[in-house]
Chain A
Amino acid sequence: GAVVSQHPSRVICKSGTSVKIECRSLDFQATTMFWYRQFPKQSLMLMATSNEGSKATYEQGVEKDKFLINHASLTLSTLTVTSAHPEDSSFYICSARDKAGGLETQYFGPGTRLLVL
Chain B
Amino acid sequence: SQQGEEDPQALSIQEGENATMNCSYKTSINNLQWYRQNSGRGLVHLILIRSNEREKHSGRLRVTLDTSKKSSSLLITASRAADTASYFCATDRGSYIPTFGRGTSLIVHP
Contacts and interface: CB of A to CB of B under 8 A. Distances in A.
Nearest to B102: A43
Indicate the member of A34, A43, A97, A106 with the most B CB atoms within 10 Å: A43
B77 interface: no
Contacts of B45: 105-108
Contacts of A46: 97, 99
Contacts of B41: 110-111
A54 interface: no
A44 B88 contact: yes
Interface residues on A, range: 20 to 34
A44 B100 contact: yes
A43 B101 contact: yes
Contacts of A41: 103, 105
Interface string A96-117: 0100000111111111010000
Contacts of B43: 44, 93, 95, 108
A108 B88 contact: no
A104 B103 contact: no
B38 to A, nearest CB: 10
A93 B40 contact: no
B2 A108 contact: no
B96 A104 contact: yes
Contact of B40 (A49, A95, A97, A111): A111
23 contacts: A34-B97, A41-B103, A43-B2, A43-B88, A43-B101, A44-B100, A46-B99, A49-B97, A93-B43, A104-B33, A104-B48, A104-B92, A105-B45, A106-B45, A107-B45, A108-B35, A108-B43, A108-B45, A109-B42, A110-B41, A110-B42, A111-B40, A111-B41
Interface of A: 4, 6, 34, 41-46, 49, 91, 93, 95, 97, 103-111, 113
